[in-house]
Structure 1
Amino acid sequence: MKIDDIFDIILKNIGKDLKQVINEELSRVKKELYLNAAARYFDEVGYKEFKISDLAKELETSVGTIYNLFDSKEKLYVQYLVLKLEIFLGNLKENEGSDPLENLRVYLEYKYAKYITNEPTTTNDSYFFHKLEILNHKVVDEIYQYLTRQLRLLLPYENTNHEHLAILFKKLSDGFIVSHFSGQCSSEQIVDKTLDIFLNGAKQ
């Protein structure tokens, strides 16, 4: 039995007063299940090769059902990015300690993890970086808040705009990833190189 069939059976057997509430909850659960499946697919093939029709076959549902939940492939991809960033932020919070330099190191290690291994990755699409730049979501703000918090502790100078430094730190690490993909930067000591360049510049 398909997942859509299960949802339809449940809806047919509830009272009319609760139907809308239950329908909204089922849509939320369905959307979460479909997003998790889409995330695995994006991880495997990347944005360019991702096809809604292939995802629909895997989920045993229709293309229209997926479009009803996410509107478009682009919007589904944005939701995928949000999910990945939420996992990233959760790892940062779980491992945040009292040493701000070590916390920045952990940030970079998690951020670079997929790119500095020998395993194949599809997240080097320029589209990936583009979407990270324009994504308007609270998880992005929380990641910047995390960086700002570390930089305030690490560089407690007067008249320093730590929010600005947080943006520069993210941009620098983004640049290291792009440089790595272009063959200009090896993965060897990439975390230490990022920290050295940033901290030497920030202290000027």
Structure 2
Amino acid sequence: MLKEKREIKRERKREIILEAAAELFSNNNYHEVMMDDVAKSISVAKGTVYNYFASKEELYFTIMKTRMESLLTLLKQKIETEKSSIDSLRAFVVHLYMFMMKHRKFFLIYQRESLNKQNTFCEDLLSLEKQIKLMIIKIVSGGEEEGVFRKVDEEFIISLILGSVYGAVQRGINSSFSKDVVIKEKEVLFDFVLHALYSGFSNIRELPLKGKTIVITRTIEQSRESASALTNLGANVIIIPTLEIVPPADWNKFDSALSHPEKIDFIIFTSVHSVEMFSKRCREIGASLNYNRTKVVAVGSKTSSQCHKNNIYVSIVPEKFSAEGVIEALSKYYLKNKVVFIPRSAIGREELPKGLKDLGAVIKSVPVYNVSIPTRENLQHSLDILNSTNVDLFIFTSPSTFENFLQIADIKNPYQYFSKFDVAAIGPTTKDAIEAKKVKVKILPKEYTINGLINKIVEHYSNNKELV
């Protein structure tokens, strides 16, 4: 009995460590989390953590492995007890959603790692994905035989079901859904999927990007959502991260500016990274601003959403997601001698500060992050995949992503290299940088966002199909 109690106590402690580690890994990159951090987060000695896990790698792998095994076991058990395909579908959708909502930190790690083809855990994640997809195919095939589900393309229905569930989970996490809301949401989610299978696909179209291989060159973190969207549209995605976001060389300028937050009239966030690094540093130094007094400008819906997550009230979202758009939006305000604080990249361009200075503003442009180039050695596996695959399209979202890719891939003649591929740029600044190297940009969105770019990519290839 005593031995049994000890085992139970040990298992509880192990679970506490796993939960704490999952929290840290979901909010930070793998290399940023130390065993010390895990120990401190649950107020135990570092040696206690090592009593359960021999290394950080083992701890991280255990989080993934145990949760994946639990998920598969749960889904199999729930589906096996159902007699009809509709009930099996409900069991799959509802329990996948509820599991991911319960283990939200695991979900965030899982989403990140499933898109990172370079990691050592990818094989296990792919195995999980394969088993989940086989479950979906089995359920839908059974429904087709029963005559309750329409016959649909397997890839399409897998993308629709998983995309719907994972999208609902992400929405629940972003909106901090309460338990009651989650319970209601699972029923809405199932109704949506069931309705789609029942009557939504009578005139099903082929996935617009099916058969296309697309290379994304953003950071791993930035690539997650866009890669997921492109995959759900049928594309095969290769991620070649050409950027790594790191803290600035020092925080002296930032700390000085935030020592008197009451003197700041406007803050302009131009990217999600600027919001994240600004918020993190403010927490570290205990700085806070009165957003009733200080007006916040967020460039783009993603940046605005990130502000919301960090409890930063946004006053202005320019119609045009560019320096020109910000200047145009702020030109409606009296800016003479107003202090405008711009937390941004250490290599940020000068159009925005200059334009606002011309309007009379006092500019405090301060680096809150720097951009470094990943080493070729760390990307060799991804580059090998790239070189052995028939690529259709490269996506570049900044001049840096293009220039860094040339360096990482050791491309001496950009014109010759890219002559075999389509190239997409997120906006005119990126387009100009690419075309300065004599490389033709074929796809440029009207809205300078990743969603606008994806829509333009779909439009481009849909039009080309019609011409064939």
CA contact (8 A) 1:100 1:150 kept: yes
CA contact (8 A) 1:144 1:167 kept: no
CA contact (8 A) 1:104 1:150 kept: yes
Aligned pair partner of 1:77 in 53, 60, 82: 60
Confirm or deny that 1:151 pairs with 2:150.
no
CA contact (8 A) 1:100 1:151 kept: yes
Report the Cα distance in structure 1 between the residues aligned to 2:161 and 2:26, rounded to whole angstroms.
26
Report the Cα distance in structure 2 between the residues aligned to 1:101 and 1:34, rounded to whole angstroms.
40
Confirm or deny that 1:88 pairs with 2:89.
no
Give the superposition deviation at 1:151: 1.0
CA contact (8 A) 1:100 1:154 kept: yes
Confirm or deny that 1:136 pairs with 2:115.
no
Give the superposition deviation at 1:33: 11
Q: Per the alignment, do residues 153 and 144 of structure 1 end up closer, same or farther by CA in structure 2, a change over 3 Å counting?
A: same
Q: Per the alignment, do residues 179 and 202 of structure 1 end up closer, same or farther by CA in structure 2, a change over 3 Å counting?
A: farther
Q: How many residues align?
A: 164
Please name the residue that 1:60 is paired with. 48
Q: Per the alignment, do residues 174 and 40 of structure 1 end up closer, same or farther by CA in structure 2, a change over 3 Å counting?
A: same
Report the Cα distance in structure 1 between the residues aligned to 2:154 and 2:164, rounded to whole angstroms.
15
Report the Cα distance in structure 1 between the residues aligned to 2:61 and 2:192, rounded to whole angstroms.
27
Aligned pair partner of 1:47 in 26, 37, 44: 26
Give the superposition deviation at 1:140: 2.4
Amino acid of the structure 2 residue aligned with 1:57: A
Please name the residue that 1:6 is paired with. none
Q: Per the alignment, do residues 141 and 125 of structure 1 end up closer, same or farther by CA in structure 2, a change over 3 Å counting?
A: closer
Report the Cα distance in structure 1 between the residues aligned to 2:49 and 2:150, rounded to whole angstroms.
58
Give the superposition deviation at 1:170: 0.8
Aligned pair partner of 1:168 in 160, 164, 177: 160
Looking at secondary structure, tell me which structure has more helix per residue: 1
User: What runs of 5+ residues in structure 2 fail to find an aligned partner?
Assistant: 1-10, 117-121, 204-468
Report the Cα distance in structure 1 between the residues aligned to 2:50 and 2:123, rounded to whole angstroms.
29
Amino acid of the structure 1 residue aligned with 2:88: N
- Could you tell which deviates more after superposition, 169-178 or 152-161? 152-161
Confirm or deny that 1:98 pairs with 2:83.
yes
RMSD: 4.1
CA contact (8 A) 1:85 1:139 kept: yes
Report the Cα distance in structure 1 between the residues aligned to 2:25 and 2:76, rounded to whole angstroms.
27
Report the Cα distance in structure 2 between the residues aligned to 1:104 and 1:171, rounded to whole angstroms.
15
Please name the residue that 1:123 is paired with. 105
Aligned pair partner of 2:92 in 98, 107, 110: 107
Once the two structures are superposed, residues 169-189 of structure 1 have per-residue CA deviations (whole angstroms, 9 ceiling, x without a partner) of: 111211122223344995323
- Which structure has more RCO (C-alpha within 8 Å, separation ≥ 6)? 1
Report the Cα distance in structure 2 between the residues aligned to 1:82 and 1:153, rounded to whole angstroms.
29
Q: Per the alignment, do residues 159 and 99 of structure 1 end up closer, same or farther by CA in structure 2, a change over 3 Å counting?
A: closer
Once the two structures are superposed, residues 27-75 of structure 1 have per-residue CA deviations (whole angstroms, 9 ceiling, x without a partner) of: xxxxx99975642334566633765223483652659x733xx54xxx7
User: What runs of 5+ residues in structure 1 fail to find an aligned partner?
Assistant: 1-31
Once the two structures are superposed, residues 78-132 of structure 1 have per-residue CA deviations (whole angstroms, 9 ceiling, x without a partner) of: 5412321211110121222332221221122222225668xxx752874442224
Amino acid of the structure 1 residue aligned with 2:71: F
Looking at secondary structure, tell me which structure has more strand per residue: 2
Larger radius of gyration: 2
Report the Cα distance in structure 1 between the residues aligned to 2:101 and 2:26, rounded to whole angstroms.
20
Provide the TM-score with structure 1 as the length reference. Answer: 0.58
Q: Per the alignment, do residues 150 and 183 of structure 1 end up closer, same or farther by CA in structure 2, a change over 3 Å counting?
A: same
Amino acid of the structure 2 residue aligned with 1:136: E
